[in-house]
């Protein structure tokens, strides 16, 4: 299987495994284009990206990727409904001004939405608050409170609540441990919300 | 009706067997068909040698490059300085008003005559970028990729205003003679020169002017309190104006600036909606803007990109940080070259062209 020989970020690998070959994908906050390059190379996917940081955008385009400089907070509303098979938002929902509106837009523009979130219910986060009385700094939440772009953090359970409120269906979900390996517990379990450092979910309209 | 029409063009490189490696280079307002060779009048290097050449983004060893002098121009293509066969005199103001659409139709006739169906790419900056956008909207099936640089989908009020100042300067010159200066064996040198000086300021940026000239004086130790060119920036602009007159026809300047003013892609192709103008666009597009370009600012490029997004077109959009203003697209900008190279390589791979 070709998916084995190039390593990408663990949550991106989960995303990539879900994407059907030959489909159309929009990656919001695509960074240096790691996922886009992988999908284009390994799955012949028609990939587009939006990224807010100029240097990252320029790096992506110089690598031959279709990426635009844009702001997810404003630009998503411009895309027609169902213009992509998948809209991907990894490790970024918590940085947006209005995560709920953004999630609605993702699932409007894309047939399916793929979202990965850092879990604020992860045990080390809980302990940090409980025993140290300090804002947690972990692998996926790696900046101090005064510098972090994460303005809308949530636990896996919180996110599931939003998914339910929006009437979305979870088609698949993977909970990842800090080392990037998948946890066995289902995403809806209390164990996942305690042991999982992040969750990746494949969502669709009901 | 204007007929017959002559179009002057240059090519570089070799057209491949299946005619899939052709790139149309569209020139800007005062550009011409000599982007990559010494100019026949000024003796200066080609205007886009920064991106054309071996191992540069537009490599003649890989691509067949075509550059056409626009209709209405004055470097060999039919323009107002040419003789009207009906009267035996120069067209002058009897030359019909032309549009960016006319220019692009002209270019495509050249492309037809070369036996090329689909262009691998169309690239241009400023007015060249307008032609790129026009080509994408008018010939969606004949343009595989497109690179509009430092441009906009319509000419703004401010840009029309600057053009009007230039035109009025030309027309206010008594030597313009209602456009018939050639019949009187004269030229509206002062008017055209002032038009160029004004326009030249809009191609730069305040920081670039400051960096290049500041308040430095020209060949003197102190200001003379007169109207000579005390300041270097004045001397520079005067020189720009003076040399421009030697290579450019005043009436051509009127007609080509007017073509830019009338450019409004949304009105021409989308009943007012730019997204409609780009509907079903399959062309791979790379939009490039520059941070200090106030003539065609990034906001115009972003509006274009939003419309392309709404049309779900495959678009890339980069903004390059520079203080060189609008003219940056003609200058050596290593980051722009890297981006163009990457975009062109990606498009070439998608087109099945060798790396």
Provide, as residue numbers in chain A, all residues whose Cβ is less than 8 Å from the Cβ of B342: 61-64
Asked whether residue B244 falls in the same domain as residue B291, the answer is no
Gap between the Cα atoms of B315 and A12, Å rounded: 23
| B290 lies in the same domain as B278 | yes
Domain end among B198, B231, B257: B257
Interface of B with A in 15-54 (CB under 8 A): none
Are B122 and B169 in the same domain?
Answer: no
Name residue A38's beta-bridge partners: none
Across the interface, whether the CB atoms of B317 and A68 are under 8 A apart is answered yes
Contact A62 B320 (CB under 8 A): no
Residue A58 to residue B349, Cβ atoms within 8 A: no
Domain that holds residue B24: 9-156+264-351
B1: in domain: no
Same domain, B78 and B224: no
B20 is catalytic: no
Neighbour-count burial of B226, counting CB atoms closer than 10 A to its CB (0-12 exposed, 13-18 middle, 19+ buried): exposed
Contacts of B341 in chain A (CB under 8 A): 62
- How many structural domains compose chain A? 1
CATH number for the domain spanning A129: value is: 3.40.50.150
Residues B50 and B126 reside in one and the same domain: yes
Q: How far is A8 from chain B (nearest CA, A)?
A: 21
Apex CA B140: angle with CA B136 and CA B146, to 5°?
A: 40
The Cα–Cα gap between B47 and B31 comes to: 7
Q: Tell me whether residues A69 and B339 touch, CB distance under 8 A.
A: no
The DSSP code for B349 is: H
Q: Does B51 lie in the same domain as B133?
A: yes
CA distance A193 to A4: 28
The reply to whether B60 and B119 lie within a common domain is yes
How many domains are contained in chain B? 2
Residue B2: inside a domain: no
The answer on B186 and B169 residing in a single domain is yes
Question: In this complex, which of B284, B312, B343 lies closest to A79 when CB atoms are compared?
Answer: B312
- CB-CB contact of B250 with B192 (8 Å): yes
Phi, psi (rounded to 5 degrees) for B102:
-60, -45
Give tens-digit pLDDT for B206-238: 999 999 999 999 999 999 999 988 999 999 999
Chain B residue nearest residue A59, CA to CA: B339
Domain endpoint, select from B223, B257, B291? B257
Please check whether residue A1 lies inside any domain of the structure. no
Q: Is B3 inside any structural domain?
A: no
Q: Identify the pLDDT of residue A78.
A: 87
Is B338 in contact with A75 (Cβ distance < 8 A)? no
Instruction: Judge whether A152 lies within some domain.
Output: yes
Q: Is residue B287 part of a domain?
A: yes
Flag whether A52 is in a domain. Answer: yes
Give the minimum alpha-carbon distance from A65 to chain B in angstroms, rounded to a whole number: 7
Q: What is the pLDDT of residues B292-312, one digit of tens each?
A: 999 999 999 999 999 998 888
Partner residue facing A80 (CB), from B312, B316, B342: B312
The nearest alpha carbon in chain B to A79 belongs to: B310
- The CATH number covering residue B151 comes to 3.40.50.1820
Q: Are B284 and B254 in contact (CB under 8 A)?
A: no
The two structure tokens encoding residue B270: 């989308």
Listed residues B257, B284, B312: the one ending a domain? B257
| Whether residue B39 is found in the same domain as residue B79 | yes
- Answer yes or no: do B150 and B163 share one domain: no
Partners of residue A78 in chain B, C-beta under 8 Å: 306, 309-310
Q: The tokens 């938002």 sit on which residue?
A: A89
DSSP A20-41: PTT-EEEEET-TTSHHHHHHHH
Phi first, then psi: give them for residue B23, nearest 5 degrees: -120, 125
User: What average pLDDT does the segment B330-347 reach?
Assistant: 95
Output the pTM of the full model: 0.93
Alpha carbon of B348: minimum distance to chain A alpha carbons (Å)? 10
> Quick one: what percent of chain B has pLDDT higher than 70?
100
Residue B54 lies in a domain: yes
CATH of the domain at B180: 1.10.1740.110
Put simply, the answer to whether A78 touches B306 (Cβ < 8 Å) is yes
B126 is catalytic: yes
- Same domain? For B61 and B117 the reply is yes
Taking CB atoms and an 8 Å cutoff, what residues of chain B touch A66?
A: 284, 314-316, 346
Helix (H, G, I), strand (E, B) or coil at B135: helix
> Across the A/B interface, how many CB contacts are shorter than 8 Å?
68
Q: Interhelix angle for B250-262 vs B100-113, to 10°?
A: 100
Q: Is B123 helix (H, G, I), strand (E, B) or coil?
A: strand
CA B84 to chain centre: 26
What token pair was written down for A10?
A: 């663990």
Find residues 301-320 of chain B whose CB sits inside 8 Å of chain A: 302, 305-306, 309-312, 314-320
Give the distance from residue A188's alpha carbon to the nearest chain B alpha carbon, in angstroms: 35
Task: Tally Cβ neighbours within 10 Å of residue A80.
Answer: 13
Nearest by CB to residue B310, choosing from A62, A63, A79, is A79
- Amino acid A204: pLDDT: 96
Among the listed residues B165, B121, B315, the one whose alpha carbon sits nearest the alpha carbon of residue B253:
B165
Residues forming beta bridges with residue B290, ordered by sequence position: B320
Residue B314 with chain A: CB contacts under 8 Å: 46, 48, 66
Closest residue on chain A to B306 (Cα): A78
Task: Please state the separation of Cα A166 from the chain's center in Å.
Answer: 18
DSSP character for B176? G
Per-residue pLDDT of chain A (206 residues; tens, 9 = 90+): 344 456 889 999 999 999 999 999 999 999 999 999 999 999 999 999 999 999 999 999 999 999 999 998 888 988 899 999 999 999 999 999 999 999 999 999 999 999 999 999 999 999 999 999 988 887 777 888 899 989 999 999 999 999 999 999 999 999 999 899 999 999 999 999 999 999 999 999 98
Nearest to A68 among B316, B342, B347 (CB): B316
Active site includes B216?
no
Partner-chain contact B317 A54, CB within 8 Å: no
- Give the model confidence (pLDDT) of B238-264 as tens digits: 999 999 999 999 999 999 999 999 999
Catalytic, out of B126, B193, B205, B292: B126
Which residue in B307, B312, B319 has the most chain A C-beta atoms within 10 A of its own C-beta, making it the best mutation to test that interface? Answer: B312
The predicted-structure confidence for B155-186, as pLDDT tens digits, reads as follows: 999 999 999 999 999 999 999 999 999 999 99
B213 and B186 in one domain?
Answer: yes
Measure the CA dihedral A69/A74/A80/A85, to 10°: 70
- Range(s) of the domain holding residue A37: 6-205
Inter-chain touch B310–A46, beta carbons under 8 Å: no
């Amino acid at each position: 299987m070709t998916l084995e020989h190039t390593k990408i970020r663990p949550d991106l690998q989960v995303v990539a495994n879900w994407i059907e070959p030959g489909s159309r994908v929009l990656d919001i906050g695509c960074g240096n284009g790691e996922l886009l390059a992988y999908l284009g190379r390994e799955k012949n996917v028609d990939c587009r990206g939006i990224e807010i940081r100029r240097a990252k955008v320029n790096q992506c385009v110089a690598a031959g990727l279709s990426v635009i400089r844009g702001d997810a907070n404003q630009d998503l509303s411009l895309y027609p409904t169902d213009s992509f098979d998948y809209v991907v938002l990894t490790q970024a929902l918590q940085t947006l001004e209005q995560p709920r509106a953004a999630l609605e837009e993702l699932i409007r523009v894309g047939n399916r939405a793929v979202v990965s979130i850092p879990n604020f219910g992860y045990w080390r986060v809980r302990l940090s608050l409980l025993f140290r009385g300090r804002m947690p700094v972990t692998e996926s939440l790696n900046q101090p409170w005064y510098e972090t772009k994460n303005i809308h953090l949530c636990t896996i359970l919180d996110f599931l609540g939003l998914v339910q409120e929006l009437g979305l269906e979870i088609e698949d979900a993977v909970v990842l441990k800090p080392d990037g390996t998948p946890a066995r517990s289902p995403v809806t379990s209390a164990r996942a919300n305690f042991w999982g450092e992040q969750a990746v979910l494949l969502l669709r309209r009901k | 009706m204007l007929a017959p029409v002559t179009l002057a063009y240059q090519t570089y490189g070799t057209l491949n067997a299946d005619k899939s490696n052709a790139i149309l280079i569209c020139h800007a307002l005062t550009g011409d068909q000599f982007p990559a060779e010494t100019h026949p009048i000024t003796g200066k290097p080609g205007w886009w040698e920064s991106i054309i050449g071996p191992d540069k983004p537009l490599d003649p060893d890989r691509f067949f490059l075509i550059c056409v002098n626009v209709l209405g121009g004055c470097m060999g293509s039919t323009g107002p300085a040419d003789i009207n066969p009906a009267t035996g005199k120069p067209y002058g103001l009897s030359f019909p008003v032309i549009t960016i659409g006319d220019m692009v139709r002209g270019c495509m006739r050249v492309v037809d005559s070369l036996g090329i169906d689909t262009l691998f790419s169309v690239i241009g900056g400023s007015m060249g970028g307008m032609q790129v956008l026009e080509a994408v909207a008018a010939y969606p099936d004949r343009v595989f990729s497109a690179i509009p640089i430092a441009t906009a989908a319509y000419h703004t009020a401010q840009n029309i205003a600057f053009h009007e100042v230039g035109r009025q300067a030309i027309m206010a010159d008594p030597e313009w003679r209602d456009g018939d200066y050639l019949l009187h064996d004269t030229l509206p040198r002062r008017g055209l020169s002032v038009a160029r000086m004004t326009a030249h300021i809009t191609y730069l940026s305040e920081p670039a002017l400051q960096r290049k000239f500041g308040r430095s004086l020209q060949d003197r130790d102190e200001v003379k309190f007169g109207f000579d060119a005390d300041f270097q920036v004045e001397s520079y602009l005067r020189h720009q104006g003076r040399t421009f007159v030697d290579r450019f026809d005043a009436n051509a300047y009127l007609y080509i600036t007017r073509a830019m003013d009338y450019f409004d892609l949304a009105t021409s192709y989308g009943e007012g909606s730019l997204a409609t103008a780009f509907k079903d666009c399959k062309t791979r597009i790379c939009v490039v803007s520059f941070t200090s370009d106030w003539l065609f600012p990034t906001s115009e490029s972003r509006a274009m990109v939003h419309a392309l997004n709404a049309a779900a077109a495959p678009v890339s959009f980069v903004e390059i940080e520079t203080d060189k203003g609008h003219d940056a697209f003609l200058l050596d900008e290593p980051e722009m070259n890297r981006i163009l190279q990457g975009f062109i390589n990606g498009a070439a791979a998608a087109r099945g062209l060798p790396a």
